[in-house]
Structure 1
Amino acid sequence: MERRDFIKKTATATSILGAGLTGLHATETNKTNNGSHNFKLKYAPHLGMFQNLAGNNPVDQLNFCADQGFTAFEDNGMKNRSKDTQEKMANTMTKRNITMGVFVAHQIYWKEPTLTSGNLDKREEFLNDIKTSVEVAKRVNAKWMTVVPGHLDLRQNMSYQTQNVIESLKQASDILEPHNLTMVLEPLNFRNHPGLFLSESPQAYQICKAVDSPACKILFDIYHQQIQEGNLIPNIEQCWDEIAYFQIGDNPGRKEPTTGEINYKNVFKFIHSKKYNGVLGMEHGNSMKGKEGELKVIAVYKDSDNF
């Protein structure tokens, strides 16, 4: 379940979202028997995570998530939804007190140097994507948007690449700051995403310090950083003042907590102890198919939140 797979599925999800948006709230038979849970943290499901229990209608899925006690939601592909879809989803989130999490702010080049290269055309393309993302963020009441600087430029020294990225991010910050919006830089692991420029949390921390803007912070994806560097809680502690967002996935497999090696109960406890009030995106698949698998995800989050 790689980030690029989420993004590639956007077109399919958009076609589903375009239909049936006026449908009624999910019926009582689609709810779990446990009722709403008072989670300590803002865990954020995504569309499709509970579609067997809630149906394909995105409004019903949002309402279902709220009925279970989830107080946040994220959607990598939100920028590609129709304006009508965005508005309907935003209205539902407002009514149900759901915090909108990240969406992907720009076209990500997985195998081509972009921000690292210093190419002015690529920089301008990125900045134009940031500008259009401002309007989307306003429409869906989002505060954060994901940025991935792209592939390494193997013809340039790493220090020059880093400065090229910093300059692009400074210019993007100038666009975002007046709107109180934040781009969150996501380091991605070498195994799933070989050759990308940004891979480690200390690297992201150094870049954010150099950009020196409230509009440029870190998205700490716990799955990626377990693979890339491990030492999760100490690295979260070291980066804390530059972290604005978390994402979740166990390793191996990128499924829900308890399916791999990460002690998520302890990680969540630490994050909560830091008085974190932001979103933790559930950017993972379900380890089991169908309604049974979806019920398991809900149960696992309730247990992992019990610290």
Structure 2
Amino acid sequence: MERRKFIRNVSLGTAAAGWAGLNGVQANTLAQPASDETFNLDYAPHFGMFKHHAGEDLLDQITFMHERGFRSLEDNGMMRRTPEMQEKIANHMARLGMTMGVFVLDKGGNGANTLAAGKKEHLDIFLDGCKRAVEVAKRVNARWTTVVPGDYQRDLPLDIQTANVIEALRRGAEILEPHGLTMVLEPLSDTPNLFLRYSPQTYLICKGVDSPSCKILYDIYHQQKNEGHLISLMDMCWEEIAYIQIGDNPGRKEPGTGEINYQNVFKFIYDKGFKGVCGMEHGNANPGLEGEKAVIAAYRKADSFL
């Protein structure tokens, strides 16, 4: 039997066994979809999320995602893959009609490369990353790349740091904009040392950069930790949001494993008319085949908001 047919048959069989204990309503709601049964929003898994069903081969993992109704993929580490593998991934996705989500702009800003400092050496690293990101985006048909401006430069006033970040991002946008590539700025909750942490702060910076190639990546997990008020703050910042990422809190796992009411959040996003990608940037709450089935079931449940 061909490998991809084998994967599909095994996954369908294990799914049926895994859901045998659900009542009839739940079973109908969470039944595994055929390839043409998509979601209300465009959710994007990442490599490794379904490897127990699909195996280690990246193309087989993409095929499995497509068969489960997902129509996009995101890959933070895409810039570090070989050009040959990038092309294989892109060609396979094109055959399936799938969209490439974000990849992280390599060396685009971290604790050792803070754009808030206003130093030439940091700016040069960032701009070199932008140039290389353009080439990767062309290869994989990507429209978004994630940028984190790095840490605070605490010996400078906050407004000076903000001005330094805006100026650096303007320079980056000059490189990206002619190629239709958008850097999406991601406020994070990982450490209080990070310069970019809040959605209104990111909104202000995007307004300052004033480019279609500089927008917000609104990560629901990080912003639940940093500021809460998810729906109201998303609404305030909406015109600058180009990409959304998902993860429940606490734990950064699939919807339904934490405190966020994802049905309401997804309905808000849908009602706003969002047609972009919602990246599944989280781990699986449980290991193995059962954990992977639980992720798919969680998205079917959270997506049933209509």
Q: Normalising to structure 1: TM-score of the pair? A: 0.90
Letter in 2 for 1:105: L
Match of 1:38?
38
Match of 1:293?
291
Letter in 2 for 1:263: N
Match of 1:29?
9
Q: Report the 3-state secondary structure (helix = DSSP H, G, I; strand = E; otherwise coil) of the residue aligned with 1:198.
A: coil
- TM-aligned CA distance change 1:110 to 1:172, over 3 Å: closer
1:61 and 1:86 map into 2 onto residues whose CA distance is: 15
Match of 1:183?
183
Tell me if structure 1 keeps the 8 A contact 2:182–2:215. yes
Letter in 1 for 2:69: G
1:110 and 1:183 map into 2 onto residues whose CA distance is: 15
What are the equivalent positions in structure 2 for 1:82-231 lying under 5 Å apart? Answer: 82-107=82-107, 110-112=110-112, 114-189=114-189, 192-231=190-229
Task: Provide Cα deviations, 1:50-100, integer angstroms capped at 9, x if missing partner.
Answer: 000110000000000000000111000000001111000001111111110
Structure 2 unaligned regions, length at least 5:
16-31
- Number of residue pairs aligned between Structure 1 and Structure 2: 283
Q: 1:125, CA displacement in angstroms?
A: 1.1
Match of 1:233?
231
2:207 and 2:115 map into 1 onto residues whose CA distance is: 18
Tell me if structure 2 keeps the 8 A contact 1:218–1:244. yes
2:216 and 2:47 map into 1 onto residues whose CA distance is: 24
1:263 and 1:244 map into 2 onto residues whose CA distance is: 22
Tell me if structure 2 keeps the 8 A contact 1:26–1:64. no
Tell me if structure 1 keeps the 8 A contact 2:249–2:260. yes
1:131 and 1:111 map into 2 onto residues whose CA distance is: 21
Tell me if structure 1 keeps the 8 A contact 2:254–2:285. yes
Letter in 2 for 1:161: Q
- Tell me which of 222, 243, 248 is aligned to 1:245: 243
- TM-aligned CA distance change 1:211 to 1:47, over 3 Å: same
Match of 1:273?
271
Q: 1:25, CA displacement in angstroms?
A: 2.9
Match of 1:63?
63
Q: 1:121, CA displacement in angstroms?
A: 1.4
2:234 and 2:98 map into 1 onto residues whose CA distance is: 25
Letter in 2 for 1:305: D
Q: Report the 3-state secondary structure (helix = DSSP H, G, I; strand = E; otherwise coil) of the residue aligned with 1:116.
A: helix
Match of 1:261?
259
Q: Report the 3-state secondary structure (helix = DSSP H, G, I; strand = E; otherwise coil) of the residue aligned with 1:159.
A: helix
Q: CA RMSD in A?
A: 1.3
- TM-aligned CA distance change 1:49 to 1:160, over 3 Å: same
Q: 1:144, CA displacement in angstroms?
A: 0.1
Tell me if structure 1 keeps the 8 A contact 2:266–2:302. yes
2:177 and 2:113 map into 1 onto residues whose CA distance is: 26
Q: Report the 3-state secondary structure (helix = DSSP H, G, I; strand = E; otherwise coil) of the residue aligned with 1:172.
A: helix
Q: 1:114, CA displacement in angstroms?
A: 1.8
1:82 and 1:25 map into 2 onto residues whose CA distance is: 24
Letter in 2 for 1:125: I
Letter in 2 for 1:218: I
Q: Report the 3-state secondary structure (helix = DSSP H, G, I; strand = E; otherwise coil) of the residue aligned with 1:300.
A: helix
- TM-aligned CA distance change 1:111 to 1:305, over 3 Å: same
- TM-aligned CA distance change 1:24 to 1:154, over 3 Å: same
Letter in 2 for 1:49: M
Match of 1:48?
48
- TM-aligned CA distance change 1:239 to 1:94, over 3 Å: same
1:139 and 1:150 map into 2 onto residues whose CA distance is: 27
Q: 1:108, CA displacement in angstroms?
A: 5.3
Question: Larger radius of gyration, structure 1 or 2?
Answer: 2
Q: 1:147, CA displacement in angstroms?
A: 0.1
Tell me if structure 1 keeps the 8 A contact 2:109–2:115. no
